[in-house]
Amino acid sequence: MTGVPASAAGGASGARRAAAGAAAATPAVSAVRSAEGGAPGASAGVGDGGTAGAVSGAGEAVPGEDGGLDAQGDGKTPRGGKIAAAAVNQASVWNIANLLTMLRLVLVPAFVALMLADGGYDPAWRSLAWAAFAIAMITDLFDGHLARTYNLVTDFGKIADPIADKAIMGAALVCLSALGDLPWWVTGVILGRELGVTLLRFWVIRYGVIPASRGGKLKTLTQGVAVGMYVLALTGWLATLRWWVMAAAVVLTVVTGLDYVKQAIVLRRQGIAERKAALEEKEA
């Protein structure tokens, strides 16, 4: 009696089971590929690698920039998707948040012209200058909030917004000191602090971002109110009041500046320690 050896029969049976398993796995893998951006009807990649081949064909998980796992898919699809998403985010420069920032930039020379008009001591011109300053400070409260809330953050906004903030405040302080209404040392302390914090942020940017504190926000509000009161031609008890408001602004400026220095040092030390630990772990 002629027959097939048991080993051969077992091999044929195993081959049929492998083929059936591959056929059953193909729709699932195809669905995975379709969900990840691949072609629905593409090959599942099941071969000598078995399940590993299927996973590799559907999308290999590799470490991402944030230390997590990034699905690469077919190789170019996720990267292309990221580039496309970035292009969409950066496409609309003319959004409401950036328009408010541009308005503040335009108000800076307008404010200076109004502030120095007719010698810089005319109450009417000073009132118009105060209106321009107030509009600039109010828009500063809204443009960042609108950009974050409605996903309107752009590279232009990231650069122009802090420039507009410091330009209007710096212009007001310099004009007040030039007119003799505000001591130069006050202008130096406030502008020096702003420049110092900006340099600190760049110093530690590779390790993280120094978050805006409540004290910093209170400082900005107090500075705005104090400078606005000095822009107006006030007399009597209001003139005395603005002196105390400016004194509070100067104190907050110094205190929050020292706090930023402390945060920057701590953040840098933590970043260096984490990098050192990661390097030692990698070498081990």
The DSSP code for 74 is T
Query: Where does the pLDDT of residue 126 fall: very low under 50, low under 70, confident under 90, or very high at 90 and above?
Result: very high
Q: pLDDT tens for residues 38-78?
A: 444 333 333 343 333 333 333 333 333 333 333 333 444 44
Mean pLDDT of all residues in 89-97: 72
- Number of C-beta neighbours around residue 174 at 10 A: 16
Phi-psi category of 122—alpha, beta or left, where left has phi over 0 and alpha has psi -120 to 50?
Answer: beta
Query: Where does the pLDDT of residue 128 fall: very low under 50, low under 70, confident under 90, or very high at 90 and above?
Result: very high
Q: pLDDT tens for residues 218-264?
A: 998 999 999 999 999 898 999 999 999 999 999 999 999 999 999 99
Residue bearing the bigger pLDDT, 185 or 73:
185
Give dist(CA 37, CA 80) in Å, integer.
11
- Number of C-beta neighbours around residue 224 at 10 A: 21
Query: Where does the pLDDT of residue 216 fall: very low under 50, low under 70, confident under 90, or very high at 90 and above?
Result: confident
Query: Where does the pLDDT of residue 214 fall: very low under 50, low under 70, confident under 90, or very high at 90 and above?
Result: confident
Strands 69-71 and 61-63: what pairing?
antiparallel
75-92 residues labelled b (16+ CB within 10 A) or e (exposed): eeebeeeeeeeeeeeeee
